[in-house]
A and B are shown apart, each in its own frame.
Chain A
Amino acid sequence: MLRTTLGLAAAALGISAIAEPAMAQNEQFLPALVYRTGPYAPNGIPFANGVADYWTLINERDGGINGVKIVFEECETGYATDKGVECYERLKGKGPTGAGYFSPLSTGITFALTEKVPGDKIPLLTMGYGRSESKDGSVFPWNFIAVGSYWTAADVAIQHVAKELGGFDKLKGKKVSLVYHDSPYGKEPIPALEARAKKDGFDFKAIPVTHPGVEQKSQWLAIRQDRPDYVLLWGWGVMNSTAIKEAAAVAYPREKMIGVWWSGAEPDVTPAGDQSTGYKALLLQHPGGKFKVHEDMDKFVISKDKSAGKDTFGQVLYNRGLINSMLGVEGIRTAQKKFGNKPMTGEQVRWGFENLELSADRIKELGFEGMLKPIKFTCQDHQGADEARVHQWDGKAWKIISDYYKADLSLLDPMVKETAAKYAAEKKITPRDCSKES
């Protein structure tokens, strides 16, 4: 009897020993470059929570992506490019097929990784940030600047200003200043704003703020003296709330300030209290609040105490993290249709992104109706959408105050083409012929 029991136990152990690696072979590894500490943590945390919670939801509710469980690991970058590259190097080879894709949530890290990912064959999903010209998939096959670029944002911001003034013709002779984080991120909208200034005849001035943006008195005294009609804000982390406070201190009307979508979340306005009332910012399509997907999230993740941080549940940046992960998961699902229901390599995920199309019905089915409009990537277009809205802080919550604006592609697309071609020439890249890609 004892021998039988021991035999069964040994057999069971043997089976589990065999089964363990077999299970591990059916896992999709996804890395998360996050910043939960440091100067940008208040903004990094809600995004990281949204990213992680959506992956948990897919595992808990659906049993993974077509049966392939998601395994993920966070790596702390502190928003520093060197640490971001370190994290990338450490995580890129993990899991049975390596990292599926990277989303660094930093334009600086994106600039650095753009040079590396073609060699490692791993796509970069940079939703709403990164190189604006990476929309051109023929030159940047591994970058997916999904939903909107900074040039989209700059164009939409000026469209909103024009609407408030009563038409584009009213822009002539007006003054628009950009207060920006002095980094690749903050500098990114300048070419698009210069192009719009030339086209619409307004006077444009760019005012840099040094990282991390805790001291902005000079910049706002200069604004008080220059008296621009509008101030666009391209900040991140503490820079945003400090800008709002300094604007209040020099009595610059908050209603005349428009932040990019990275300057329009709860951590950007709550530290300034009542002084934030009236401040506006762009929406990367989605607002904060709760939608259909949040009901599932509540049921399968939050109530089971499996959330990465439920205190940020439903915040603007949490929701952005959800969409980021949803696009990633749907990219993998698209790839699985071609390559089979198994863990995908980075190269296969890249194909999945490039062929990803989310219709209104599919977005509704996923629970994201009201958060995202239909999006479609192609070989040439790695952005998939060119629309944004505006919301305004009323002192307690963000309220959507505009309909969707579509970016002026007649102005931006030639800029994308020209800048991407310059990049290709500089890096000796031969652009793909997208007319021949299936």
Chain B
Amino acid sequence: MIVVGQVLEVLIGGLLAGVLYSLVALGFVLIYKASGVFNFAQGAMVLLAGLALVRSLDFMVARGAPTWAAIALGLLFAAVIMAICAWIVERYVLGPLVNQDGLTLFMSTIGVTFILEGASQMIFGSDVYPLRLFPTDAWFVAEGLFPGGILVNKLDVWGGLIAGTLVAGLAIFFQNTKTGRALRAVADDHAAAQSVGIPISWIWFVVWLVAGLVALVAATVWGTKLGVQFSITFLALKALPVLIIGGFTSVPGAIVGGLIVGSGEKLAEVYLGQHIGGGIEYWFAYVLALAVLLVRPQGLFGERIIERI
């Protein structure tokens, strides 16, 4: 009975941790889905959004602003920063590269990554900035069934709720709005989309803005978990196997991929790691991803691309 309780605890903890990875993965999916660009800078965007939020929030609290007002204005300030970032990326990086090869666009986002990492630390500082927007303690459920109960972290549950809301909102945006459909058209073919009158620069600005706002949401959760700091950029590495498993073009896939990666890596670390030396969860997630690639190269929910030759 104790063992069942422990396995359940690791499984639930893993599933919820996976949802937090999905929050980061969603940003990747959005930009890939809408522009066909694999945005290497998504981790750096989470850092920029988090720093803009926490530094402005601290600034206002230090000057006596009420907490609710400081949070609201901090979120607004961070959103404006992400909008400026989206405009600069579209205007000076992606705009001039319209119709270029996908690899060229990908390389340009690597450049954006380093610029964002450097600039955000230079402007907002490179310390650890605590952020406490959500509770971080835990519930112990089913204590009657299992000694000590099953631990469920409140922050993880908040992360799950936020991710669910985001997915629902994004699904509606992509399926039921004119801009959403235009985004999908641009992803299929830049030139064709332009030829039917879709303003590609506006569409790219919108998609980078939405990805920036998703990064801001991820930053609120991860910033509460870790404190806002440079290490947040490493989350991009946690999101990669999620994307490979879920598919680069599927919003629900990002969630399912996160659940598989989170639960798989936690169970592997706790129950397999102790027999082979531990520290395996980072690469175990990629083992899972490779296994999926071999069976379904497009990921579980990705679009199967068939090209005429």
Q: Which A residues are closer than 8 A to B by beta carbons?
A: 36-39, 41-42, 45, 182, 206-210, 212-215, 217-219, 221-222, 224-225, 237-238, 241-242, 245, 248-251, 267, 270-273, 275
Contact = CB atoms under 8 A, between A and B. Distances in A.
Nearest to A208: B279
A146 B265 CA distance: 40
A212 B138 contact: no
Contact of A42 (B118, B126, B282): B126
A182 B231 CA distance: 16
B130 A212 contact: no
A224 B234 contact: no
B128 A212 contact: no
A270 B151 CA distance: 25
Contacts of A224: 9, 148, 151
Nearest to B233: A39
Contacts of B282: 210
23 contacts: A39-B231, A39-B234, A42-B126, A45-B126, A182-B278, A206-B278, A207-B278, A209-B279, A215-B17, A217-B14, A218-B14, A221-B13, A221-B270, A222-B270, A222-B274, A224-B9, A225-B9, A238-B229, A241-B226, A245-B136, A249-B136, A273-B132, A275-B136
Interface majority SS (helix, strand, loop, mixed), chain A: helix
Given A214-B234, A271-B227, A221 B10 contact: yes
B229 A249 contact: no
A218 B261 CA distance: 13
- Central interface residue in B118, B227, B282, by most chain A CB within 10 Å: B227
Contacts of A241: 128, 226-227
B128 A37 contact: no
Contact of B226 (A37, A238, A250): A238
A37 B269 contact: no
B87 interface: no
A218 B132 contact: no
A207 B238 CA distance: 20
B40 to A, nearest CB: 17
Contact of B266 (A217, A248, A272): A217
Nearest to B129: A271
B126 A208 contact: no
A218 B227 contact: no
A45 B230 CA distance: 13
A248 B230 contact: no
Contact of B151 (A41, A182, A206, A221): A221
B201 interface: no
A222 B278 CA distance: 11
List of 6 A-B pairs having minimum Cβ-Cβ separation, nearest first: A271-B227, A218-B269, A208-B279, A238-B231, A41-B126, A39-B231
Interface in B6-21: 6, 9-10, 13-14, 17
B270 A210 contact: no
B91 interface: no
B62 to A, nearest CB: 14
Main secondary structure of the interface of B (DSSP, over half): helix
Interface residues of B, number: 43
B265 A218 contact: yes
Scoring B17, B151, B231 by chain A CB atoms within 10 A of each residue's CB, the highest score goes to: B231
Given A42-B229, A225-B6, A249-B153, A215 B138 contact: no
Interface of B: 6, 9-10, 13-14, 17, 117-118, 121, 126-130, 132, 136-138, 140, 148, 151, 153, 225-227, 229-232, 234-235, 238, 265-266, 269-270, 273-274, 277-279, 281-282
Contacts of B148: 224
Contacts of A218: 10, 13-14, 265-266, 269-270, 273, 281
A218 B12 CA distance: 11
Contacts of A238: 128, 226-227, 229, 231
A104 to B, nearest CB: 19
Given A217-B14, A218-B273, A275-B136, 12 more contacts: A37-B126, A42-B127, A42-B128, A45-B126, A217-B266, A218-B13, A221-B13, A238-B128, A245-B225, A250-B138, A271-B229, A273-B132
Contact of B281 (A206, A210, A273): A210
Nearest to B121: A37
Nearest to A242: B226
B19 to A, nearest CB: 12
A189 B171 CA distance: 51
Contacts of B129: 271
Contacts of A182: 278-279
A213 to B, nearest CB: 8
Contacts of B14: 217-218
Contacts of B10: 218, 221
A248 B231 contact: no
A188 to B, nearest CB: 16
Given A42-B127, A271-B130, A217 B13 contact: yes
Nearest to B7: A225
Nearest to B131: A271
Given A225-B6, A249-B151, A250-B151, A45 B231 contact: no
Nearest to B127: A42
A225 B227 CA distance: 26
B130 A270 contact: yes
B15 to A, nearest CB: 11
A267 B137 CA distance: 21
Contacts of A207: 278
B112 to A, nearest CB: 17
A37 B230 contact: yes
A226 to B, nearest CB: 9
A37 B136 CA distance: 28
A242 B155 CA distance: 14
A251 B279 CA distance: 22
B77 to A, nearest CB: 21
A217 B17 contact: yes
A208 B277 CA distance: 8
A374 to B, nearest CB: 35
Contacts of B13: 217-218, 221
A134 B235 CA distance: 36
Contacts of B277: 208
A51 B132 CA distance: 33
Given A37-B126, A267-B128, A212 B234 contact: yes
Contacts of A248: 136-137
